[in-house]
Structure 1
Amino acid sequence: MKKYISSILLALVLCSACSESFLDETPQNFESAEQTYKTTKGFNAALNGLQAYSRLEFETWNDNIVSQGACAYEVLQGGLDICYINNVDGTLQPFQKYTFDATNSYISNRWKWAYGLITNANMMINYAEKGDVVWSKDTDKQFFQANARFFRAYAYRYLTYLYGDVPWVDKVEEEYRVDFPRTPKAEVLAKMIEDLEFAAQYLPENPNNVKDGELTKWAALHMLSEISIFAGDYKKAETTALEVINSSYFQLMNTRFGKNSSQPGDPFADMFLEKNQNRKAGNMESIWVVQAEYNVQGGSTTYNDWTRRAWVGAYYSIPGFIISQEYGGRGLGQIRPIQHWLDSYEAKDMRNSIYNIRREYVYNDPKNTALFGKKHTITEDNMDRGYVFPTTTKFDYMPENDETYNGNQKDKMRFRLAETYLLLAEAYIKDNQIAKATDAINKVRARAGATLATQADVNIDYLLDERVRELLGEEMRRFTLVRTGKLIERTKKYNSKSASTIKDQHVLWPIPQGVIDSNSGLKWENNPGYN
């Protein structure tokens, strides 16, 4: 999908969020929509636009409608059981100290992005139902609606995890509304499941026959397994996860591949090297990859993703260091893993290798002859400043021609098979099938070369521990903790900087105050604890 972006459609998808109303369904460029949604070619352009809008998921400083400040991604990771928030960006501190409220900009922009994506998905779904569309193939209508329904479910995934009960909207409103009711979360989840079942039925099956970044039925089934767990339907979650696992299209990567495969490294690290995310690069573990490649038409921009700045430290701020690829490029160290998790790996665990976790820093500025080549001693103060700390290398990134570049423009694995196994294990645990859960977890641990779990080991906390070791930084950790009901307990247990301030109310975020004010025709009470 990254090779084709319509500038007309990009303007179209962005216009949907231009009103102060959180659900302004009246497209500001209505004539362009009417002209676009007439043929398969027009729907293809619209789908490219929908993909482009979805990539604004973690948009940072920029001048578009969903600009979110520097830390849109970090608020779903920091202040929880996996990482501390460093003293780098003051806008993040409310998510460690739990002082955020209904006026917080990150909270409101997450809502804005999600409903913008829903609006544009609904446009595609609704226009496909019109009788005057000229389709190139009989299957085109279902194909485009399947893509749109996947993205609608993806947007509601954010909304249900973060805010609980939210308005279900499935059509483009012809008149401006200020009286949307909040739909109970259980009903929203049921509708998401319907969307994902439809998507799985009509999206392409063979991932070898689609372009990089395009959706297949397996992406829909992977997310369907997760949402089914959230909805309490563990049998459906098991069945759908097993469909993906048994499809024969995917495998856990346990041999070297792709870029730098002839150089020192390991299969786990290979998956996170630039240009190694997609199937065509030899990555058979990827199920859905967001296209964000550097300097490619239709890829992301400087501001779409700053995950590198989150996990990579500002080591170059210390005399004796210069920016280098060896240490991940130009980071800011906004968040850092809690030491407990770095200590939880066995020495033989592949995920614990020097290629996957950076624990040591050696002064690398040859101009500083007094320090060059010597090992740096990490201090608590330097960790708090975000300078140097043990961290994952998954988000290392530095363009060869621009070492101070802000963004992290390599393609991103959103869903991969290792997580499918862990979702299957989660469903089995919830379904009291511990033996099967143990087997699923051990598929992941065997690839890592770690000691296999026993049935006596396995419970929901063991599963959550294993998700950290495998998926640190990839999963939206807040979602996982909400789904498993463990957010408060585990944050208190593992995060000493947030333990004293987190409260039961913080399982959900508040509804943005601007949303409540705009929906003036139907008064809402905010989520408990935020009134």
Structure 2
Amino acid sequence: MKINKIMMSCVAVLVVNAVTGCKDFLTEDLKSELAPTNTFTSTYGFEVGSAGLYALSRSEYNTWGEGGAFMHGNATPYEALQAATDIVDVINSDASLTAFANLTLTAEERFVRSYWDWSYSLIASANEILLFSEINENWDRPTDKVHFQAEAKFFRAYAYRTLIYLYGDVPYVESIQYDFQLNFTRTPKAEVLQHIIDDLTFAAENLPENPDQVLDGKLTKWAAYHLLSEMYLLQEEYVLAQEAALAVINSGYFNLMENRFGVSANQPGDVFSDLFKENNQNRKAGNRESIWVLQFEFNAIGGGTNSDDWTRRAWNPKYFDITGFTLADTLGGRGLAQIVPMKWWVGTIGTNASGNELGIFNATDMRNSNYNIKRNWYYNNPNSPLHGSKANITEQTWFTTKTLFPALTKFFYGRAENLGLTGSYRDRMKFRLAETYLLLAEAYLGQGDAFRDRAANAINEVRRRANASPVSASNIDIDFLLDERIRELVGEESRRFTLVRTNKYVERVSMYNSAIRDRVKADHALWPIPQSIRDANRDAEFPQNPGYR
């Protein structure tokens, strides 16, 4: 198949790009054959390069590599963006998360460097496509050149988004660095943000319009508009953020899913749980809510690896450590509970844990149903005398052994033929319309009290689908919106990004994260600049972020 050939070629190109300067690693023949000057000479060559961008963007979730486009080199990197926020506790967990959770982060921490490297790898690959697209004249269609440029600019913007959220001022690079440079300087965040907006504006104007006419996972202009809305919010350009969000909502191509659909439509569940069933994420399954979906596929070339997307391992309990349980795909597969949900939002109702936390869901909210937050656990080992009886969630199982607690079924994944799988091969919705509505609400709130009614209307669109009671404008503020983002998007969004964007990081962590509430301060909103980057940049000053050495 052509797509398999493209994926195999793009992986090879990514490997060559990754080892630039390592002269003995690959033979000169292979380097010559896959060099950009030979690859980017036709539409097909740019398809290979484009596939590489998609692979790199997906590898944001990669852990240990296994042939992926990029390797973070440790477990659960994405959960570093959830730790030390207002949604999860990190208790006796993987060492890769400890410093993030405890606010003992240093400039030598692995994910501090790997997120920097991942971002600039994506930027370098995008810049390469942009450069050679201006040189190439061998196109299959007149629109090919601007199409590949629009994709490249989207991914460059997406990478810089991560950089400014995590590090603040960062070097802005828009060309290929052929020579080893030792004198980078930090570009002010506001300037980088404007470059992001410029790139996304170009992408929104030139990416395809009709999502039914592109392959699964391919970008359309609506993904650019969605991200543009978020970036305008970060820029505090609330009217422009509103307009970008409304462009998506009013496009006519998307709607919130309100009726059962897809592979499990005739099985017990609800429409919210349907969104997260395997093979339900793309439009061909009837999902008209997804705007951009990262593509994974089990046992397929280019479909991901066992080291991709360990979100399930991070969020799911270690139930299989309890006598009377055995691994099961229906129970989420092999979770390791590297993070556990906080009581204040998920609630203790239906558990034997201490306290009487009601949580943030009302009684009719389907996002709190047992189809979406599993609180009822039953021993499933047919050889156990306990089989079929209920296992209670207790304070110990939640916060000590981490074997049972209220678990998000949106991350359940397992395969009966290999229950020990570490990665998830389910497609992952990166942008969906429910979040677009919540970005719209944020844009209205930014415009003042006169727009509270409109903010309430936007939030109520999301709540209506969830069968949650409507909220009045008088009860709407940024904290309600942040709670609503938990109800709808917990674990999907990068919570750290959201709290930083809304200037609520310190306040929310102080209010809800008892482990660090007395230590968190404004400096913790950013990560340190990787020390190895500063050390290598010996010909120019490269200051560290405040609060770090």
TM-score normalised by length of structure 1: 0.96
- Aligned residue number for residue 24 of structure 1: none
Structure 2 residue identity aligned to 1:6: M
Q: Distance in 2 between matches of 1:323 and 1:171?
A: 49
Q: Distance in 2 between matches of 1:457 and 1:111?
A: 39
Structure 2 residue identity aligned to 1:272: F
How far is 1:304 from its partner? 1.4
- Aligned residue number for residue 316 of structure 1: 320
How far is 1:10 from its partner? 1.5
What is the aligned counterpart of 2:99 among 94, 100, 104? 94
Higher relative contact order (CA 8 A, sep 6+): 1
Q: Distance in 2 between matches of 1:91 and 1:144?
A: 36
Structure 2 residue identity aligned to 1:173: Q
Structure 2 residue identity aligned to 1:394: K
Secondary structure of the residue aligned to 2:429 is: strand
How far is 1:336 from its partner? 1.5
What is the aligned counterpart of 1:415 among 418, 431, 444? 431
How far is 1:83 from its partner? 0.9
Write out per-residue CA displacement over residues 440-493 of structure 1, whole angstroms, 9 at most, x where no aligned residue: 011001111111111111111110010000001110100000000111110111
Q: Distance in 1 between matches of 2:417 and 2:270?
A: 26
How far is 1:116 from its partner? 0.3
Write out per-residue CA displacement over residues 179-201 of structure 1, whole angstroms, 9 at most, x where no aligned residue: 11111000001000000010011
Structure 2 residue identity aligned to 1:530: Y
- Aligned residue number for residue 539 of structure 2: 521
Q: Which runs of 5 or more residues in structure 1 are unaligned? A: 22-26
Q: Does residue 332 of the first structure (1) align with residue 353 of the second (2)?
A: no
Q: Distance in 2 between matches of 1:2 and 1:230?
A: 37
Q: Does residue 466 of the first structure (1) align with residue 484 of the second (2)?
A: yes
Secondary structure of the residue aligned to 2:161 is: helix
- Aligned residue number for residue 391 of structure 2: 376
Contact 1:309 1:330 in 2 (8 A): yes
Q: For structure 1, which segment, 205-214 or 381-390, has the greater mean C-alpha deviation from structure 2 after superposition?
A: 381-390
Residues 2-401 of structure 1 correspond to what in structure 2 (within 5 A)?
Answer: 5-18=6-19, 29=31, 32-62=35-65, 66-130=71-135, 132-342=136-346, 343-369=359-385, 371-384=386-399, 385-401=401-417
Structure 1 residue identity aligned to 2:532: G
How far is 1:58 from its partner? 1.6
- Pick closer, same or farther for the CA change 1:106–1:38 going to 2, 3 Å: same
Q: Distance in 2 between matches of 1:17 and 1:45?
A: 16
How far is 1:17 from its partner? 4.2
- Pick closer, same or farther for the CA change 1:344–1:2 going to 2, 3 Å: farther
- Pick closer, same or farther for the CA change 1:17–1:372 going to 2, 3 Å: same
How far is 1:415 from its partner? 0.2
Q: Distance in 1 between matches of 2:221 and 2:360?
A: 35
Structure 2 residue identity aligned to 1:377: N
Q: Distance in 2 between matches of 1:368 and 1:516?
A: 57
Secondary structure of the residue aligned to 1:394 is: helix
How far is 1:18 from its partner? 4.0
Give RMSD over aligned pairs.
1.8
- Pick closer, same or farther for the CA change 1:109–1:501 going to 2, 3 Å: same
Secondary structure of the residue aligned to 1:129 is: helix
Q: Distance in 1 between matches of 2:196 and 2:172?
A: 10
Structure 1 residue identity aligned to 2:406: P
How far is 1:3 from its partner? 5.2
Contact 1:2 1:213 in 2 (8 A): no
Contact 2:6 2:47 in 1 (8 A): no
Secondary structure of the residue aligned to 1:93 is: helix
Write out per-residue CA displacement over residues 163-216 of structure 1, whole angstroms, 9 at most, x where no aligned residue: 000011101023221111111000001000000010011100000000100000
Contact 2:66 2:305 in 1 (8 A): no
Structure 1 residue identity aligned to 2:547: G
Contact 2:89 2:339 in 1 (8 A): yes
- Pick closer, same or farther for the CA change 1:14–1:436 going to 2, 3 Å: farther
Structure 1 residue identity aligned to 2:507: E
Q: Distance in 1 between matches of 2:6 and 2:374?
A: 37
Contact 1:81 1:491 in 2 (8 A): yes
How far is 1:15 from its partner? 4.0
Contact 1:268 1:350 in 2 (8 A): yes
Q: Distance in 2 between matches of 1:256 and 1:63?
A: 36
Structure 2 residue identity aligned to 1:423: L
Structure 2 residue identity aligned to 1:10: V
How far is 1:138 from its partner? 1.1
How far is 1:63 from its partner? 5.5
Identity of aligned residues (%): 47
Q: Distance in 2 between matches of 1:465 and 1:479?
A: 15
Contact 1:118 1:152 in 2 (8 A): yes
Q: How many residues align?
A: 524
Q: For structure 1, which segment, 357-366 or 262-271, has the greater mean C-alpha deviation from structure 2 after superposition?
A: 357-366
- Pick closer, same or farther for the CA change 1:4–1:52 going to 2, 3 Å: farther
Secondary structure of the residue aligned to 1:414 is: strand
Write out per-residue CA displacement over residues 215-258 of structure 1, whole angstroms, 9 at most, x where no aligned residue: 00000000000001001111110001000000010000010000
Write out per-residue CA displacement over residues 268-292 of structure 1, whole angstroms, 9 at most, x where no aligned residue: 1000000000011100000000001
Q: Distance in 2 between matches of 1:479 and 1:158?
A: 8
Q: Distance in 2 between matches of 1:98 and 1:5?
A: 43
